[in-house]
Chain A
Amino acid sequence: MSVDYDALVVGSGFAGLTAAAALSAAGQRVALVTTGSGSLVFAGACLAMPAGPDPALRCFTEFAAAAGCRYTGSECSEALLPTLLGELQPVGFAPHFLDRFEATDEGLCTVAGIEGLSGFDAEFLAERLNQVAGEQGLRRRHVPRTLRLGRALGVPLTVLAIARCFDADRAFRAELASQLREAAAGSDSLLLPAMLGIESTEHKLDAFERAVGLPVRELVTLPPSVAGLRVERLLKKRLHALGVEFFEGFPVRALRLQQHRCAQVEVAAPARSLKLIASAVLLAVGRRQSELLGLHAPRLDERQRPLDAAGNPFAENVVCAPSPAAAPLHTANLLRVRAGFGAAQSVLAGEVHLAHR
């Protein structure tokens, strides 16, 4: 099947999603090829604070907001994100539903655990957060509570099972809201493991919060990360709505070159390679890049095109969003957003596919 796209993005992690959003917003006809999910689904999809105004980050946060997954944060001051083990991680921008410590925070926060849920110890967490908050001169205090869910959701109980019940069952959401309201009576806010649905939108979470009667924030758990999955789902849905065409589940087998241009991208679909044709190809495949290009850690030219050993572009119309070098998670995520945005700008600059027109 050969259809013409303006741009074909390979990869649906932070880089690929940002690139597809930027290209689509600029009116390009975009196809996105992905084997499934990028690494953002395994954690909280948070971004480090940039060193100054950052157009890539702005593009991403606008995209996320339009997707119903608003990111909160500031370009000039870091927030502190509590982790499962009671540490405070510096973060720049994070999805609105994740808990953050602000220097101005006061009051009492109920840390709600779920009976039978492995990997989340409310008592330990509350104690640790109190200790850490004290050490850092932060005034928020924590008190643990454990809820018993009114449903048998499988043994062992996982946040995934809770999240999927939350998505499917209105009665469960109502029951949970009233249990939390009761458990948090007298507190100013509530902290939960991230479990409030994979399909939740900002709107749905706001409604839940109103039912509970006080601010509800979530904490990133061990995978499966409901937080990451929720973000990814919303971002992909937005791309669908923008008209991006998805080819999901199968990897790119090869880039077919003809006279220094990538003429076809071959996707390893069952039975017969799917052959996709696009004016520009944007690789956002993380560590698979070397394999696809046949070049190990290639340098990029000023148009973000990978260069071979002789210093020539691999192809006139192929750009890369390179994988970040080892960096802390939130920083790596920010670098991915920048890489995707940068690669998209190269494509949009028109120089990459000038010859084709």
Chain B
Amino acid sequence: MRTDSFSVDNCLKCSLCNTVCPVMGVEPEYPGPKRLGPELERMRVEGVATDTTWVEYCLGCHRCDLACPNQVDVSAMIAAAKATHRKPLQRRLRDWWFARPALLARLAFVAPAVFNLSLSLKPVRVLMERVMGISSRRPFPRYTHGLQPRSAAQAPRGRVAFFPGCYIRANRPDLAAKVVRLLEHCGYAVEIPATTCCGVPSLANGAAAEAAAQARTNLEHLAPLAESGVPILTACSSCGHMLKTGFSGLLEGDLSARANQLASAIWDLGEFLAREAAEGRFAGAALAGKQRVAYHAPCHLKSQGIGQPWVALLRQIHGVTVEPLDAGCCGMSGTYGFKQEKYELSMRIGQSLFERIDEVRAESVASECATCRMQIEHGTGTRTLHPLELLEESIAEESRA
């Protein structure tokens, strides 16, 4: 994606972007990426007012960008339009919070048990739906006391850094512990620097300034590591996408150059471990008892252009069969599916995926994206997990044996 050049003129109006848009597939009123992106952009750059009613319905999945034969930055244009779009008050107030998951987590850390309990009480959820437009049908993930930064000890193969992202930090710090074990198994010392939200939720909720501020903070913490040649790993596809695109062009000048340099040090965990696997580091991995796992590739993994490394990785584990689902977008898109006005649309988008999961009848579904997992559990009741959990379990079993 070239966010530094004026790509509107590249648009051929071929409509390929429209053919892959998950929202357009189920909502005929949605104008689609061709219109909300390059068509309206031509007017926006001239300062002409345009109807932006539908821009907030863009999932930010980037499938339009991938389908475009001519490198038009469709989703970036729509994201820029989101930032200038004026929402109704209720949504502005709600989305202010959705744009700041790190802040929300800090509130939860005060008393996670109380926070979790409140968010699970029906009357509270009904009130939240009425007052804030947060769908009461959508379970909230449970909050913990969070994850502390950690420094790396010495190790034979050197240091790597791990960028947990808000979900792992606030809701699943146990996943961070598993990431550390996996990387230590490969001979690395793992550092977890202090970082903040990657900025995807802010950008998705139209808070571009907040996203830029988060980008600057993360750049400050991560750039020194990248400059010393330390690989920085992510286990969340959306964080990975954001970091790999130099924070999506939010920064300017010098900072932008540093962000692009940082980007070249970012690795998706699966991408990194696939290299380790190619060197035989998971040769003995096995799980007692056969497992059939379905795999769902998150949209923000596809946008990283690295294929689907976890499929081959999981297949390395003796006893595991993997069924790639290849059934489109789950429809959750982070904070999107929590919103009252978008809940039903979100579930309709995910319908083909739910049906495919039912068809395949796997015991569990693996996916790197936390909100994909939430959507799949909500829509099918099937157990979900991050693929790293299976690999970690297999090496834990191997070392116990």
Contact of A269 with B312 in the complex, beta carbons under 8 Å: no
Q: Tell me if B's interface is mostly helix, strand, loop or mixed.
A: helix
In the complex, whether B366 has a CB less than 8 A from a CB of chain A is no
> Which of the 9-residue segments B63-71, B331-339, B368-376, B393-401 touches chain A?
B63-71
Which residues on the B side are within 8 Å of A151 (C-beta)?
28
B264 contact set on A, CB distance < 8 A: 271-272
Q: Which of B69, B245, B303 has the most CB of A within 10 A?
A: B69
User: Which of the listed residues B19, B25, B264, B352 has the most CB atoms from chain A within 10 Å of its own CB?
Assistant: B19
Cβ-defined contact, A240 with B306, below 8 A: no
Q: Which of chain B's residues has its CB closest to A236's CB?
A: B326
* A270 and B309 contacting across the interface, CB-CB below 8 Å: no
CB neighbours of A183 from chain B (8 A): none
B305 touches A250 (CB 8 A): yes
Nearest CB in chain B: distance from A126 CB, A: 27
The answer on a CB contact under 8 Å between B275 and A246 is: no
Q: Is the CB of A247 within 8 A of B305?
A: yes
Pick from B18, B26, B266: contact of A271, CB below 8 A.
Answer: B266
Interface size class of A (residues with CB under 8 A): 35 or more
Asked whether A234 is an interface residue with its Cβ less than 8 Å from the other chain, the reply is: no
Q: B1-29 interface mask toward A, CB cutoff 8 Å, 1 = contact, 0 = none?
A: 10000000000001110110000111011
CB distance from B268 to the nearest CB of A (A): 10
**Docked complex: A237-255 residues within 8 A CB-CB of B:** 237, 240, 245-250
Report if B210 contacts A (CB, 8 A): no
Question: A269 and B304: CB pair below 8 A?
Answer: yes
| A residues less than 8 Å from B19 (CB atoms) | 160, 198, 224, 229
Question: B29 touching A154 by the CB < 8 A rule?
Answer: yes
Q: Report whether A245 and B307 are in contact in the complex, using a CB–CB cutoff of 8 Å.
A: yes
Closest to A232 in B: B19
Most buried by B among A35, A224, A249, A274: A249
Q: Does B16 lie within 8 Å of A37, measured CB to CB?
A: yes
Does B278 sit at the interface, judged by CB under 8 A?
yes
A48-56, A164-172, A206-214 - the one binding chain B? A164-172
State whether A249 touches B303 (Cβ < 8 A). yes
For residue A247, give the distance in angstroms from its CB to the closest CB of chain B. 5
B274-313 interface code vs A (CB 8 A; 1 in, 0 out): 1100100000000000000000000000111111010010
Q: Do A247 and B307 contact each other (CB < 8 Å), given the known contacts A1-B274, A37-B69, A153-B28? A: yes
With contact pairs A3-B278, A270-B303 given, residues A168 and B15 touching in the complex (Cβ less than 8 Å): no
**CA–CA, A135 to B271, complex, Å?**
63
* Whole-angstrom CA separation of A272 from B67 in the bound complex: 20
- Which A residues lie within 8 Å of B340 (CB)? none
Q: A248-B302, A271-B264 are in contact. Are A168 and B351 (CB under 8 A)?
A: yes
Interface size class of B (residues with CB under 8 A): 35 or more
Whether the pair A3, B303 counts as a contact (CB closer than 8 A) is: no
Interface string of B63-82 (1 = CB under 8 A from A): 00111110000000000000
Decide: A36 and B16 in contact? CB cutoff 8 A: yes
Of A36, A154, A229, A270, which contacts B69 at CB under 8 A?
A36
Q: Is B244 located at the chain interface by the 8 A CB criterion?
A: yes
**CB closest chain-A residue, reference B266:** A271
Q: Check: A318 CB closer than 8 A to any chain B CB.
A: no
In the complex, what residues of B have CB within 8 A of residue A246's CB?
307
Enumerate chain B residues within 8 angstroms of A267, measured Cβ to Cβ.
Answer: 305
Contact A270 B245 (CB under 8 A): yes
Contact present for B244 and A154 (CB under 8 Å): no
Residues of chain B with a CB closer than 8 A to A161's CB: 24, 28
B263 within 8 A of A: yes
Whether a CB of chain B sits under 8 angstroms from the CB of A41 is yes
Residues of B within 8 A of A68 (CB): none
Q: Is B141 an interface residue (CB 8 A)?
A: no
Asked whether A248 lies within 8 Å of B66 as measured between CB atoms, the reply is: yes
Complex CA distance for A142 and B309, rounded to whole angstroms: 54
Q: Would you call B15 and A223 a contact (CB within 8 A)?
A: yes
Closest A residue by C-beta to B263 = A271
- Interface membership of B324, Cβ < 8 A: yes
Instruction: Give every chain A residue within 8 A of B66 (Cβ-Cβ).
Output: 36, 248-249
Bound Cα distance from A245 to B65, whole angstroms: 20
**How near does chain A come to B330, taking the closest CB pair, in angstroms?**
15
Task: Mark A267-309 against chain B: 1 for CB-CB distance below 8 A, else 0.
Answer: 1111110100000000000000000000000000000000000
> Which residue of chain A lies nearest to B14 when distances are taken between CB atoms in the complex?
A223
A268→B1 CA distance, assembly (Å):
10
Question: Which residues 240-289 in B have Cβ within 8 Å of A in the complex?
Answer: 241, 243-246, 263-264, 266, 271, 274-275, 278
Excluding A269-B306, A270-B241, 9 further A-B contacts by CB distance (< 8 Å) are A1-B309, A37-B16, A154-B29, A168-B352, A198-B19, A248-B302, A249-B305, A270-B244, A272-B264
Instruction: State the B residues within 8 Å of A (CB).
Output: 1, 14-16, 18-19, 24-26, 28-29, 31, 65-69, 241, 243-246, 263-264, 266, 271, 274-275, 278, 302-307, 309, 312, 324, 326, 348, 351-352
Can you list 25 A-B contacts with CB-CB less than 8 angstroms, sorted by A residue number? A1-B271, A1-B309, A2-B275, A2-B278, A3-B278, A36-B16, A36-B67, A37-B16, A42-B14, A167-B25, A240-B326, A248-B66, A248-B305, A249-B302, A267-B305, A269-B305, A269-B306, A270-B1, A270-B304, A271-B244, A271-B266, A272-B263, A272-B266, A274-B306, A274-B307
